[in-house]
Amino acid sequence: MLAYVFWHWPSQASDGGDYEALHLQFHRSIANERPAGFRRSFIFRLEKAPWISATGPNYEDWYLVENFAALESLNEGAVSGKNRSPHDNIAQRASGGSGALYRLRAGEPHFAKVRMALWFSKPRGLPYSDFYAGVRAEALDSGGGLWERQMVLGPSPECCLLLASRTVVPKALDAQEIQLELLWGGD
């Protein structure tokens, strides 16, 4: 499973409630008009992603797709047909955005329960096999999902561990901890 993760934020002129309402309308439209290979989407509100300079609320959208081929379908389907107007409405009120592509490496994507994201990169000098063995155990023990960046499309870190609750973060990870508030769970 792959996830296109998109961070965005409203323009200063946008009303926060209006922005969120239009945002939800777009995700409902995508859910109804499912592009081929699209599974579901999730919206989280967060105070700030450290790699984004925007102030005020930030939003983190997770679009789950079956494979790389489904990304093309999502890319086209999100901005055409019945999805075009909802997309354009929210896009006109956004000040900016940044995205990345992640693959599920371990655990299960229990997005409805997620309240925290730990973002981190592999420590230098540590072999990937050792690194993922330790993080995989942490993800599975905590009931979370471990995601690994597939393509560098923006400034986000290499890995993300999505969790339902706070956990002890190994110091070696040097993780950035972000509290998430679920706004949309694909239902």
Q: For the chain, how many structural domains are there in total?
A: 1
Q: Which long-range contacts (CB under 8 A, 24 or more apart) does 33-36 make?
A: 33/77, 33/81, 33/82, 33/83, 34/77, 35/70, 35/73, 35/74, 35/76, 35/77, 35/78, 36/70, 36/73, 36/77
Tell me the C-alpha distance between 150 and 72, whole Å: 15
Average pLDDT over residues 75-81: 97
Identify the weakest region by mean pLDDT among 85-94, 121-130, 149-158, 165-174: 165-174
Per-residue pLDDT at 187 exceeds 70:
no
Percent of the chain beyond pLDDT 90? 60
DSSP lists the bridge partners of residue 119 as 160, 176
pLDDT above 90 (res 75) = yes
Q: What CATH number does residue 41 fall under?
A: 3.30.70.100
pLDDT for 10 beyond 90: yes
Mean pLDDT over each residue of the chain, to the nearest integer? 90
Global confidence as pTM: 0.93
Which range of residues forms the domain containing residue 47?
2-184
